[in-house]
Structure 1
């Protein structure tokens, strides 16, 4: 590349974002990032979204990248601003999603001096290192371009994660001299040849195979579908793997491994192939789920191989390159086994549909109203955990946006990011009143940016999941019953359209109209009026009862 001189760091950053295909940046302006924000805002090819909290800047950038299958960018200030972003960086790190996080820093002359310079904090880089895949400080105007490229490559290299760059404010204002030197991409690992041959032989012997796809399978959708159809195997998924094969495919069982029917299938399977899943505790009944001993595990992360469950054949490699090697020698499963897979697929869905009671009407209305591949961003709340993460169909992994690390309050920010990433189609956010209250300020972002977003707020007056746990295992409620605003008045104050679902019969018309709208709508689901599920939902965590 030809060396280029930019007037300041903001112009350099804008040029770098264009090279990544990013057209929207999320952040909060500050005295310690002003040149960056001003350059992005002035660039006609870029949109700066002024969110109301730094945590949302990262959540929105995270979901923007997920929805586009790439990378997002967040801008924060130094000190407290960077600290506010830390929790959302943890989410991106847990999810392995690519975020370029640019944060300010005090002037170079005062960096690390401990004088109490405005916005200064002790060892900000150490904090960022703890919650990022890659973290670095810009130390000169000659290095900033290279650092931005290195950070982006690190974030995008599987297993991905957030890359944080702290940029002293004096260096942001200065002219940038970028040599344009390219950063080499990291070549993916290749499985050991002998191990791969043994895995191929094992899979070829299988008569009752199952496949379990996690988020690592999302980059190998075509290859995974070929293996499923070549074998007639049933496809289980983690929550992160949903949509890697469209869930209306008749061999996709989905995120139902811990159900009685799912456990029975796993018990009777003679070979299990797992792809890019980390077997999280909430998806394995706190690791109590039993898997077949004949286990072929594929993962690009060497540390994941055999970490939770033993693998007879551990294949360290990229899914898109490894799966075809298995498919070429795979044999068709017994017809009776494939028929049983289809029966289990129908059974687990019918059972869950019945168990969620009146909320089934909402799930059905969403499935009918949303175009194929529309993003459903799900905060951590009972509707998400019970049916949004399982029953509501996913046809594209880019539509499957949720906080994989399990932290509440991130759903709306993620929804805003996803909606602005894919403005040609509607986005839905599923949130609870408790989680939404964590970042009520983002209702103002929603009102200002006006994306095609339907915000479904399931109002049960507090933290319903924890309330159910305390009712089931304890003798009193603590910290779970919260004051809830009048959502109609709140929506009106923010200039948002409002609707309410208080009965099953309301769901279809309300959701259809909201999804068809060209702008944002807040839909309150009044759970006290709607009525309870058949069985109160409690999360799959262990509570000592002795």
Structure 2
């Protein structure tokens, strides 16, 4: 027999979990104690929302399970905004929360126990794939195993696991004590799809186009093969950035919100969507016209557009389709003119900023951006060397994502990490400077300080109204970082001085803050909704 906490931790270890994020509370300390004796690195954050964001950042960077451990009631509730972002972005994270002691819980009766919530699991139902609850000793291990399995089974989304606090310190049955062992959920095999309808639809296609989403980011070879077989340009969503790399001749490297790239969609006679649900953010709220023929490859069929042919399976099916295609004659479309047309219309400050990032960030660097104008520039116009190196919170669109999520990304072991936040968004989680310093993370937090909510300010100025609610009283960020013992520096503007400073910070390998003062208003790019060229 083992304690409930030991059983849960053992299940996490069997699943290969290496890092977990959390905040201790009176109800979950037994879990912290068990983790201290395990192989899992437990990182204490300063707010529960940051724990879930960090788990999401880790999951996006690695494709592995991200874990957030929080306490009962307000602790669990504090994660919901971050869990919603992970849900909309399909991140495999597991939130483990406690409930009040099982001996004090009465069904359908609120008793006023410390941190008690009437129906705590119900809060998570709208933003999770599954909810698993253990309020009795005999189901702790079963619930933990089922929750982990659900989180890691494609199509992935967050999962919530709740355990009554007294069961964490109580001896509970483990796998060896259960009659017949543990009944682990099985993964149902997916039958190979029939490719013939797709092959018929592609036969004679003159202007095919591939649209690759986040579900394709671990299938670069398959998408590459299909693009080559079709001689088709590849548009990638934010979640699939870097799928073909910045130098690939078939990578468009532009968002579909740019008219030059959008014309590729309009002119295509067959669109092959791989691992994408064709969501509103990417399609300018579905203003992109219905393709003449739409083939979709994925675990779930898109519902926002009529699909003519659906191939059920993961993105590797794209490679099978490529292998089945007959040899294609004709040269691939030259995309250089498309890129030149788009870049000619970009704001000069944006272009200098993008150049500075390319100069400073090594190929193995990770960018985690926020809901801010520089973040939108990078989301649309920065192509990383490989997938999973650019994170954008445009699943749900949660301001304040970048810095706490970057804590998890920095622990992924995939290279140096840079977060890009505005002065407003950074303050959502400024307390995580303590986490950054305590854990000595290889993370540079960039704060672009324009004195307010620049995107909202732009909207108001564009509408011709007096600005209100958008100008902020902000701290001396350099001094704030220094107070946590974090190396910090301030530069003015977003061009060469910024790029050179960022390169120094990344090269140092230590936690740091780089503040970029931008007194002139920044202009959002065309992939930001006020500037979408398609209107409904």
Q: TM-score, normalised by structure 1?
A: 0.91
Within 5 Å, which residues of 2 pair with 1:124-273? Answer: 124-179=120-175, 181=182, 183-187=184-188, 189-190=190-191, 193=194, 196-273=195-272
Structure 2: how far apart are the matches of 1:182 and 1:369?
A: 51
1:362 aligns with 2:358: no
SS of structure 1 residue aligned to 2:252:
strand
The residue number in structure 1 matching 2:364 is 373
CA offset digits 1:331-376 (Å, max 9, x no partner): 43632xx23334324543x336xx2323433322322332223211
1:60 aligns with 2:46: no
- Structure 1 residues not aligned, in runs of 5+: none
The residue number in structure 2 matching 1:351 is 344
Structure 2: how far apart are the matches of 1:77 and 1:129?
A: 18
Equivalenced residues, count: 524
1:414 aligns with 2:405: yes
The residue number in structure 2 matching 1:456 is 446
Structure 2: how far apart are the matches of 1:191 and 1:165?
A: 33
8 Å CA contact 2:525, 2:531 repeated in 1:
no
8 Å CA contact 1:282, 1:541 repeated in 2:
no
Deviation at 1:397, TM superposition (A): 2.1
Structure 1: how far apart are the matches of 2:444 and 2:203?
A: 47
SS of structure 1 residue aligned to 2:513:
strand
Residues 377 and 535 (structure 1), Cα distance of their counterparts in 2 relative to 1, 3 Å cut: closer
1:447 aligns with 2:433: no
Deviation at 1:322, TM superposition (A): 4.9
From 471, 489, 495, give the equivalent of 2:461. 471
Deviation at 1:538, TM superposition (A): 8.5
SS of structure 1 residue aligned to 2:33:
helix
Structure 2: how far apart are the matches of 1:312 and 1:209?
A: 14
Structure 1: how far apart are the matches of 2:452 and 2:279?
A: 26
8 Å CA contact 1:456, 1:524 repeated in 2:
yes
8 Å CA contact 1:192, 1:316 repeated in 2:
yes
Deviation at 1:10, TM superposition (A): 2.3
Structure 1: how far apart are the matches of 2:523 and 2:55?
A: 37
Deviation at 1:427, TM superposition (A): 0.2
SS of structure 2 residue aligned to 1:228:
helix
1:78 aligns with 2:72: yes
Deviation at 1:191, TM superposition (A): 6.4
The residue number in structure 1 matching 2:178 is none
Deviation at 1:541, TM superposition (A): 4.9
Residues 86 and 188 (structure 1), Cα distance of their counterparts in 2 relative to 1, 3 Å cut: farther
Structure 1: how far apart are the matches of 2:151 and 2:288?
A: 32
Cα RMSD over matched residues? Answer: 2.2
Deviation at 1:400, TM superposition (A): 2.3
8 Å CA contact 1:189, 1:300 repeated in 2:
no
The residue number in structure 1 matching 2:99 is 105
More helix as a share of residues: 1
SS of structure 2 residue aligned to 1:421:
coil
From 9, 12, 15, give the equivalent of 2:10. 15
Deviation at 1:204, TM superposition (A): 3.0
Structure 2: how far apart are the matches of 1:78 and 1:134?
A: 18
8 Å CA contact 1:452, 1:520 repeated in 2:
yes
The residue number in structure 1 matching 2:507 is 516
Residues 291 and 514 (structure 1), Cα distance of their counterparts in 2 relative to 1, 3 Å cut: farther
